[in-house]
Structure 1
Amino acid sequence: MKIALLGYGKMGQVIERIALERGHEIVLKKDENNTFDGLSNADVAIDFSVPTAAVSNISNCFQANVPVISGTTGWLENYDEVAALCHEKKGAFISSSNFSLGVNIFFEVNEYLAKIMSKFDSYNVSMEEIHHTQKLDAPSGTAISLAKGIIENSSYNNWTLEKPEADQTSDSELAKQIHIEAKRIGTIPGTHTVTYNSSVDAIEIKHTAHNREGFALGAVIAAEWIVGKQGIFTMKDVLELK
């Protein structure tokens, strides 16, 4: 399989190594200063760039009839126009905040637990995410995805970085929001914890990434899966979690 790498930072370099180990060929390595020369030779593109480049990268893939896997976050205000272009060009597309196989299993566990806990008003949910100090956005895209999974399966209606005060009543607007505590520490690749706390006990689920390889491997597996397909998919399709 011939792969175009759109974005050649730390993640792009790990993706390159794993792709080569799995017998694939890299036909384009694009950073902000490169052109799209070679894109038309690719069977699939993997985009781990920056928010300001993502829409252009993905759009060029659709124009070249190249399916694209995007792990770039921070551009989703333009998602509808990108999706419309994908359908117009009969392209293939997967966008995810996290391609790690373990994280996507964790997403499923999170949604299932949220459905169960929605029946018990005595528990309040909160989240914590920890990443390396070079990650400037907060909360992480993965934390936002986890929050959305809870919101879709409970009475919570939003997430917030603002911590609720101890004397807030259960029916206050802030109490209907999921508090996310975002920490930036050392070189931690990514740790996400969801906690349901009550006056008598707490229930906690947690995912800890040991390195970047899980994210890269998942992106390559998604790229292998999407070749020859048409439409917009998710990692649930790739991992047959639906």
Structure 2
Amino acid sequence: MRIALFGYGKMGKMIASLALKRNHTIVAKIDADDTEIDFSTIDVAIDFSQPSAAFNNIKRCLENHTPIISGTTGWLDHYEDAVILCNENNGAFIYASNFSLGVNLFFELNDYLAKMMANLRDYHVSLEEIHHTQKLDAPSGTAITLAESIIKNTSYKSWELDATKEHVLPIKAIREATVPGTHSVTYESHVDSIEIKHTAHNREGFALGALTAAEWIVGKHGVFSMKDVLHID
């Protein structure tokens, strides 16, 4: 499989290393919006760029009929535009706030727990995420995905960083030097607490998930999610 990488930072380098071990070829490493690209040489693109560049990268790929996987967060104001572009060009596109296979199972656990807790009004929910100091957006896209699932299933109306208002789900974002990513969801009452937590030990899980999605999407058409890749109903 011939892969183009949009963004060649730590994640891009790890994806490249793992791709070579899986007998794929990296045909382009793109860090600038004005880079000339021969899309005829690319089977699939993987985007782990900057929030300001992500939508343009996705747009270029879809307009050139190149499947694209995006794990960049912080650009989702344009997500519906990407969906429209994908459908107009009969393209193939996956966005995930987190490609880790474990995190995507954690998303399902979070959704199921929120449904069970929905009518237990004595419990108050809070979210905490911890990432490395180089992460530009806060809260993380993963935390937002977790929050949106809780809001969908409970009486919470919205989320905010460090919220104290009723019916607003609080998210605490912490930045520490060497943390790949930790997310926890806590339901707390005056009698007990229930907590679920996912801790990434390194970045390799994100790279493996992105490559798994890239391998899956080649030859397909449509807007997909990691649920499709992992065959989660």
Report TM bin, short chain.
Answer: over 0.9
Q: How far apart in 2 are the matches of 1:140 and 1:147?
A: 11
Pairing 1:208–2:199 present: yes
Q: How far apart in 2 are the matches of 1:36 and 1:154?
A: 48
Q: How far apart in 2 are the matches of 1:163 and 1:154?
A: 17
How big is the shift at 1:34? Answer: 5.9
Q: Which residue of 2 aligns with 1:13?
A: 13
Q: Which residue of 1 aligns with 2:189?
A: 198
Alignment length, in residue pairs? 233
State the identity %.
Answer: 61
Q: Which residue of 1 aligns with 2:213?
A: 222
Query: Which letter maps to 2:75?
Result: W
Query: Which letter maps to 1:108?
Result: E
Alignment of 1:52-131 (within 5 A): 52-131=52-131
Q: How far apart in 1 are the matches of 2:86 and 2:66?
A: 10
Q: Which residue of 1 aligns with 2:41?
A: 41
How big is the shift at 1:186? Answer: 1.7
3-state SS of paired residue (1:106): helix
1:27-82 CA deviation, whole Å, 9 max, x = no partner?
11101266142332111100111111111111111121110000011111111211
Q: How far apart in 2 are the matches of 1:37 and 1:79?
A: 23
Q: Which residue of 1 aligns with 2:155?
A: 155
| 8 Å Cα contact 2:124-2:188 kept in structure 1 | yes
| 8 Å Cα contact 1:30-1:36 kept in structure 2 | no
Query: Which letter maps to 1:234?
Result: S
Pairing 1:182–2:138 present: no
The TM-score, its normalising length taken from structure 2, stands at: 0.97
Q: How far apart in 2 are the matches of 1:38 and 1:133?
A: 35
Q: Which residue of 2 aligns with 1:24?
A: 24
Unaligned 5+ segments in structure 2 are none
Q: How far apart in 1 are the matches of 2:34 and 2:15?
A: 18
| 8 Å Cα contact 1:68-1:94 kept in structure 2 | yes
3-state SS of paired residue (1:152): helix
3-state SS of paired residue (1:175): coil
The TM-score, its normalising length taken from structure 1, stands at: 0.94
Call closer, same or farther: CA 1:33–1:154 in 2, change over 3 Å.
closer
Q: How far apart in 2 are the matches of 1:122 and 1:160?
A: 21
RMSD: 1.1
3-state SS of paired residue (1:156): coil
| 8 Å Cα contact 1:7-1:50 kept in structure 2 | yes
| 8 Å Cα contact 2:163-2:169 kept in structure 1 | no
Q: How far apart in 2 are the matches of 1:224 and 1:117?
A: 37
Q: How far apart in 2 are the matches of 1:210 and 1:162?
A: 26
Q: How far apart in 2 are the matches of 1:163 and 1:57?
A: 34
1:134-186 CA deviation, whole Å, 9 max, x = no partner?
2232111110010001111111111111342xxxxxxxxx2211111111112
